[in-house]
Structure 1
Amino acid sequence: MDMSTFRTVKANDKEIHYQLERKPVKNLNLRIRSDRSIYVSANSAVPIDEIDLFVISKASYISDAIERFNEMAKYKPQPKQYVSGETFYIQGRALRLQVNKAEKDSILSDGVYLYLSVKDPEDTVRKNRIVNRYLNKQCKVVFEETMNLIYPVFKKYDVCYPELRIRNMETRWGTCLAKKGIITLNKRLLEAPRTCIEYVVMHEFCHFIHPNHSKHFYSFLTMLMPDWKERKALLEKTAVYWL
């Protein structure tokens, strides 16, 4: 049975169109997708008028989020061709790609350049596969290092070391399934400065103590990472150019 409907409300003389899905959730949840569509999930017990008022109360947030997505679209890079001169980011550092012809495929970095050697420099599919295999390995190494750095803080709260999953996500840097003991991180987070990666990992770990984004969650996060707002601002500022 389809529990999804589309609604329209008015805030500040502007119409807001949103998709509403009824789900067994405790709180009202609102998300702005990368295509600028607005999605809301709510328990079937919540009156429709209350949901509409909730969306209206988020009008400023919605406007800012859509403006940010529009700004991101301006700077969104074209698909990589994997040719010399292209730039790849790892932990905030820009690495310039150099493609060379060689008998054996290989890839390595000296912190300034990303050296890609392939049998056929015109084979874009092969170059894509080699580079992405390298980036996936870097994700695993960097994310696991960061989790190992932060986990001791949570061990004393009897939090079990979580399973790490890495995947591409459009609108989130990370998620936490507290009951299942899983933290999922966005592959693109590898491009951000290390201080930003630490913020996202700390944020997700805090959900093992406070599953939602309550004031208790943010108080706990602030206690453990007093400068998280600065780190988050840096992440949001630099992400405009990378996502």
Structure 2
Amino acid sequence: MPRPFSAAPRHETLAYQNQSLHYTLVFRSRRSLGFAVRPDGSVHISAPAGTSPEWVAQQVLKKADWILKHQQTFANRPAPAPTRRFEAGSPHYYQGKPYQLSLAEAARPTVALVDDGLVVSAPQPLSATQTEALLHAWYAQQAGPLFAASLARVWPRFAEFNLTRPTLSVRQMRTRWGSCTPRSARIRLSPELVRASPGCLDYVLLHECCHLLVGDHSLAFYDLQTRLLPDWQRWKAELNALPK
């Protein structure tokens, strides 16, 4: 079976509206021209073997606005949140403030805030997985009082609706910060929220309380959320930047 044709890539540059448009061009065994803008902003074009680079350049200019639009979309995306590490010296957050993780020896496993440090103690050295498990358990222990205090701050905003005050519970969730069952007025919140600032926690809780009135994420829902918390996007961005 013959191998498909593929020439060495060419790196080209065009001038368009007083700016330089860079792209990588590869000729392949294909019938049509293919355009791709990658998340890093680079432009990659696959052209049928036998076509001229000059003809491809003309097609690139025709697609220039489309290319620039996608490059701008990728540029405007927030940087991914850093990944947490569970070793001594790594930063960990509690109520929005960073603490340096310390590992210590003690008669039984404990987690405690000491000055600017988050100290995890155990009778024997811990693996990163064991340290993570102890921290998760500690977050869950702290969650109840912090969530109750958040509801005391948030709930007065819903006074006009004469709703049943929701019941809060703590539940570990892989992909969500919270969930709401309007019929039973029950709201579940992730214990990981204790790592976020009180403003972020209030945003998530208010978001779930809004579902007591609007069950979906329609325009009506976001209109309500914006009326009750005009700067919610600020808190959402801060929450998304929290290390995963």
| TM value normalised by structure 1 | 0.60
CA distance in 2 between counterparts of 1:200 and 1:119 reads 37
Map of 1:132 onto structure 2: 136
Match of 2:231 among 227, 230, 233: 227
Map of 2:83 onto structure 1: 76
Match of 1:177, as an amino acid? Answer: T
Map of 1:109 onto structure 2: 113
1:44-82 CA-to-partner distances (Å, cap 9, x unmatched) read xxxxxxxxxxxxxxxx9xxx79x979x648x4345x3xx
Match of 2:192 among 180, 188, 194: 188
Match of 1:88 among 85, 92, 115: 92
1:159-214 CA-to-partner distances (Å, cap 9, x unmatched) read 22222232333332222111121112233322222211111111111111222223
Match of 2:148, as an amino acid? Answer: E
Cα RMSD, aligned residues only: 3.2
CA distance in 1 between counterparts of 2:192 and 2:233 reads 20
Q: Secondary structure at the match of 1:94?
A: strand
CA distance in 2 between counterparts of 1:68 and 1:180 reads 37
What's the offset of the Cα at 1:153? 2.6
Map of 1:143 onto structure 2: 147
CA distance in 1 between counterparts of 2:200 and 2:218 reads 22
Map of 2:210 onto structure 1: 206
Which aligned segments of 4 or more residues in structure 1 are displaced greater than 6 angstroms?
none
Verify the 8 A CA contact 2:93 2:99 in the aligned structure 1. Answer: yes
Verify the 8 A CA contact 2:136 2:191 in the aligned structure 1. Answer: no
CA distance in 1 between counterparts of 2:172 and 2:109 reads 25
CA spacing shift, 1:77–1:122, aligned 2, 3 Å: closer
Verify the 8 A CA contact 1:107 1:130 in the aligned structure 2. Answer: yes
What's the offset of the Cα at 1:156? 4.2
| TM value normalised by structure 2 | 0.60
Match of 2:124, as an amino acid? Answer: D
What's the offset of the Cα at 1:126? 5.8
Answer yes or no: is 1:100 the counterpart of 2:107: no
Q: Secondary structure at the match of 2:184?
A: coil
CA distance in 2 between counterparts of 1:224 and 1:125 reads 40
What's the offset of the Cα at 1:146? 0.5
Match of 2:112, as an amino acid? Answer: L
CA distance in 2 between counterparts of 1:192 and 1:100 reads 25
What's the offset of the Cα at 1:151? 1.6
CA spacing shift, 1:159–1:106, aligned 2, 3 Å: same
Q: Secondary structure at the match of 2:161?
A: coil
Instruction: Calculate percent identity across the aligned residue pairs.
Output: 27
Answer yes or no: is 1:168 the counterpart of 2:175: no
Question: How many pairs are equivalent?
Answer: 176
Verify the 8 A CA contact 2:84 2:92 in the aligned structure 1. Answer: no
Match of 1:76, as an amino acid? Answer: T
Match of 2:163, as an amino acid? Answer: V
Stretches of structure 1 that go unaligned for 5 or more consecutive residues are: 1-12, 15-59
